[in-house]
Amino acid sequence: MALLDGKVGIITGAASGIGAATARTLAREGAKLVLTDLDDAAGSALAEEIGGTYVHHDVSEEDGWPAVIAAAEHYGRLDIMVANAGIAIMATTIDMPLKDWRRQMAINVDGVFLSVKYCIPAMRRAGNGGSIIMLSSVAGLRGSAGLAGYSATKGAVRLFAKSIALECAQAGDGIRVNSVHPGIIATPIWKKIPAGTNHTIDPYAIAEMSVPLGKAGEASEIADGILFLASGMSSHVTGSELVIDGGMTAGRITRLTQ
């Protein structure tokens, strides 16, 4: 029997990167999935590939949330919410326009807040607990120059997850809530970060220098962690942080050159 047989989940920002890898992994384990994104071509193609449903939705728009939840309940219930959609805007703080700060906050923080606000009632209606997984980052555990606004959003998600874990525990609804903290993962987000500047960021090159394991992570390696949190294998895990970073937050190592 697969790990998620009979389970229904929602993955936001599922058309690319970690969200897409998570969709493939959870579907392989038997989950029925609703995928949301702004990229309709990639989102619909993936939904077709895994036999799920695609809904065009901007996570920061409250009006669209009831339709996303309804799409999940069309499968009969809601058990899993992966609040994954996110953007990263690189700029020193004095150069960051307020509108960019707000856009990043709206997607990375308001979007996660709305995911939780709308998924909990549906999970409670299903009456069998649930698992909420929020994508934070190593940038939510420590600072990053040039990504201060992004770090602020991911730090917010980290403590939001713990607080919601406690709210659900207090309600006794069986819903577990955890955050995931990827390090440098090779996804299209790295091509989007420097928008507006004239340099490129190669995650493989950065990871070689700054990740103790010496390489960038793959989206499927984050998806495996999300699968653990989504499944019954993590039945006693709530309010925790799953760090998947090749050792980045453990400390530094010095590689001796030959």
Cβ–Cβ under 8 Å, residues 76 and 22: no
- Span of 80-88, 93-101, 119-127, 234-242 interacting with ligand NAD by CB under 6 A: 80-88
Interaction between residue 22 and ligand NAD (CB under 6 A): no
Interaction between residue 187 and ligand NAD (CB under 6 A): yes
List 54, 75, 118, 150, catalytic entry: 150
Interaction between residue 114 and ligand NAD (CB under 6 A): no
The C-alpha atoms of residue 213 and residue 49 are separated, in whole angstroms, by: 33
Does the annotation count 150 as an active-site position? yes
List phi, psi (to 5°) of 86.
Answer: -165, 160
**How far from 133 is each of 64, 70, 103, 112, 222, CA to CA, in Å?**
20, 19, 22, 10, 12
Interaction between residue 179 and ligand NAD (CB under 6 A): no
Instruction: Out of 131, 137, 231, 238, name the contact with ligand NAD by CB under 6 A.
Output: 137
- Span of 25-33, 180-188, 227-235, 248-256 interacting with ligand NAD by CB under 6 A: 180-188
Interaction between residue 13 and ligand NAD (CB under 6 A): yes
Interaction between residue 135 and ligand NAD (CB under 6 A): yes
**How far from 3 is each of 27, 83, 224, 233, CA to CA, in Å?**
10, 20, 12, 8
For the segment 229-248, give every residue that binds ligand NAD (CB under 6 A). none
Interaction between residue 79 and ligand NAD (CB under 6 A): no
Beta-carbon contacts of 98 under 8 Å, excluding residues fewer than 6 positions away, are: none
Beta-carbon contacts of 133 under 8 Å, excluding residues fewer than 6 positions away, are: 80, 81, 82, 83, 177, 178, 179, 180, 226, 229, 230
- List active site positions: 150
Contact set with ligand NAD (CB under 6 A)? 12-13, 15-19, 36-39, 58-60, 84-88, 107, 135, 137, 182, 184-185, 187-189, 192
